Structure formats: C-alpha cells, structure tokens
A and B are shown apart, each in its own frame.
Chain A
Amino acid sequence: MNGVHDLGGMHGMGPVEIEKNEPVFHSQWEARVFALNLACSFHRKWNIDMGRHSRERIPPAEYLAATYYEKWLRGLEMLLVEQGLVTAKEMKTGRAEKKAAESRALGAADVATFLRNRRHARLDDDVPPKFRPGDRVIARNMNPTGHTRLPRYARGRRGVIDRDHGVFIFADTNAMSRDRKPQHCYSVRFSARELWGPGAFARDSLYADLWDDHLDAA
C-alpha cells in the first residue's frame, strides 16, 4: 500500500537526533507492549508480515504522531481481534468473556528457546532464480493496496542484481493471504542518480532486497 510508513525519500521530517545513553525502553509500558507482542506471536495466529501490515494500516496522521511502541500497541490490538484471540467486546471492556481456546501460553522457561528458534523466512524449496548476479533489472511499477516490501522510491527504477540471497517467503502475499509463494530474493543495486536524479553523487548507490515478483528484466 502507498502508505505513510513508506518514508524513504520524504522531506520535512526534521533532523536525526541520537539520544546519548539511551535506555532499551523509555518506560515500563514500552517494555510490556514489546513483550506482549512477542508473547502473543507464540500462538502463531499471524506471521511477521501480517504484523508489519497491521502497523502500516494505522491511519497516516496517527502513524506519524505515534511513538514506536504506540504503533506496536495499536497493531497488536488490531491483530488480536482480527485473528480471533480476543473479541471486539473484550477489547472494548477489558474483561474476558471466556478463557482462550489456546491450551497454553509462552512460559518463562520457554523464552530462551522461543527466541533462538529460527523462523524460516528462508525456504528449502527448489525454485529456479529468474535472475543472476550482474543481470540488469527494472523494479516493477506496481501499486498494490495491500502489503508490499517494494518501496515507492525504487518502483520503475533500473538496477543490477548484486547477489542472490536464495529462496524466501514472499512477504507481499504472506501478509495478505498467508501464501508463502517461495521465490528468490536478491540484493538489487540502484545508483543514487537513478533514484534521485543528477544531483546525487555519481559513486553512491542504494541496495534493496527485492523478490522475483518485484522485478522484470531490463
């Protein structure tokens, strides 16, 4: 979706300000909302791409005004109701109508293993690559209303395949319909001038990780 989350290249957002000795969390509720997100993902009612898409669906004005963990809170509230772990009424009242059908929650003793387990965005499927390193490609001019990992600034731009990362879950479809659509994901190099025009430095470049379904041969 052409959402406000797709920030690359926008102007007027202000300076980048690094906070000295920044704590991991700035308040107790930030820590709790972070942990709630991870603990709820244990139930496997949604995948990481659905999680990202929930935050992208926060209305634009609210998205820009919200802090990072406010977005995580909002996204989690959406997913819990949409995926049926909590009813809309329970979310509204804050009172449980009945216990969840899920037999168990993530326990403290499971946390280390839970965090160390790979979640396999990389797949073993034997899918041939459409492109090889050095191939010239053009990022598709596409404007899906759902989730996509092809940023607007790269659409319609010409680049070169830098490396083939192998076969991965295709985030765009995995977020919308849980269709993993296994395909190769590549690092694609775009010159800064191709993206931003003649004012950019000639030597500079940008690398984005894009999938077969984002690319055509140029």
Chain B
Amino acid sequence: MSDHDHHHHGDEHAREHDRPLSGPALRVKALESLLTEKGLVDLKALDELIDTYETKVGPRNGARIVARAWVDPAYKRRLLADATAAIAEFGFIGRQGEDMVALENTPEVRNMVVCTLCSCYPWPVLGLPPVWYKSAPYRARAVIDPRGVLKELGGEIPEEVEVRVWDSTAELRYLVLPERPAGTEGWSEEELAEIVTRDAMIGVSKVAVPAGSKR
C-alpha cells in the first residue's frame, strides 16, 4: 500500500465495516477463515501476536540498552563483547534476536545496518522494521552509497570518518550503539533512554538533544 495514512489500524478496522475490503485485505480475510476452519490457527493467538509487536516489543527496548551502556562502562564492555548475553540481562530475547552483535559508533567510525536480501532486523530490541528499512531504495543504496543515504537522512559524514555498512546476510542481528550527545552530562539513564531513536540504533542518524528538552 502506498497511501501511508497515519491512522492506527484500530481506526482502519472500524472503517473496514463501512467499505468493501481491497485486494490484499480480502485475500487475507479469506486465508484467515480457511486456516481457522482447518484448525491451523487460533484467532486469539493472532491477536496476541499482533498486540506483542504493537505494544510490548519496540525500539524503547533498544533505547534502554543504549542508555545503560552510556552510563555504565562495565555494561558497555559486556554489550560489545557479547551482545546477546548483555541484552538478555534486560529480558530482551527470542525471535530475530537470537544472536546479537553491538556496533559502537565513535567520532572516527559510523556503523549502519541493512539487509539487502530481505528485511532482517533485531526484533527484540527494535520491534518490527519500518517501511523504509524494508524498501528497495534503502536495500539498494545502503551498500553502494551509504554516505549519500546518511547525508539525506541524518547529515553529511566528514571524509575522515570511516563508514562501515553491515549487511545482515545471516542470522546475526545488529544494534548500533550511537554516540552519547554532548550536553547530556549528569542525565539519568531514564532521561537518556528517552532521546535514543530507532533510526540512531539502525545507524542512519545520530542521537540529538531535542530542542526544548526538559534539561
């Protein structure tokens, strides 16, 4: 679908009663009733799966990891040495996060994550991937023109900075540990987690102190 409306799908669901279903919506509905009738799926389990990724698992998880690494040097060492275990300390484990690697951004090195072949993404820490990450433009360009993509999305990268692109071609899943922004000295872990964005943890932008921040 190309008409990216901003309605939550709950609203969409309400509106579906007032208008005919479109192509894929109709096919999915037919498939869902067939699979239910055959006893292959349980509707309540579908609701639970959807609720998990809409309300429980998302980039706020990853933000907590990053904030902890910023305030706790021992945690940061553990994260960089064995990201799967360090992330599991928060209970963030399971599907599409079985084998995690953390990549540290520094003033000298910028890391950026892509999956050129499909849409591999670290679900337990970032949730389900956004449309742009799964799109042909990002998958095509991230590897051949990372600086062009970064310039468009987050600002130009100085020539002396090394750009490392990580193509998720196996079952390793990558989390970028962004640089802690200047001006956040003395902030609590919770306050820091608030400003960490999904896109910074994919590596396409930096973490910034928002204008009008409470500090």
Contact = CB atoms under 8 A, between A and B. Distances in A.
Interface of A: 5-11, 13-19, 21-36, 38-40, 43, 52, 55-56, 64, 67-70, 73, 76-77, 80, 85-86, 90-91, 94-96, 98-100, 102, 104-108, 110-112, 115-122, 149-151, 153, 165, 168-169, 171, 185, 187, 192, 195-196, 201, 203-211
A7 B139 contact: yes
B144 A8 contact: yes
A42 B7 CA distance: 31
Given A29-B28, A203-B163, A16 B141 contact: yes
A115 B9 contact: no
B41 A36 contact: yes
23 contacts: A8-B116, A16-B132, A17-B132, A19-B131, A19-B132, A23-B9, A26-B5, A26-B9, A26-B131, A27-B12, A34-B53, A35-B45, A39-B40, A39-B42, A86-B40, A106-B41, A107-B44, A111-B49, A168-B170, A203-B162, A204-B146, A206-B164, A206-B166
A40 B116 contact: no
Contact of B153 (A18, A27, A112): A18
Contacts, number: 287
Contacts of A102: 39-40
Given A69-B24, A106-B45, A90 B140 contact: no
Contacts of A122: 98-99, 171
B1 A73 contact: no
Given A8-B140, A73-B27, A187-B172, 6 more contacts: A8-B144, A8-B167, A31-B54, A36-B46, A94-B31, A122-B98
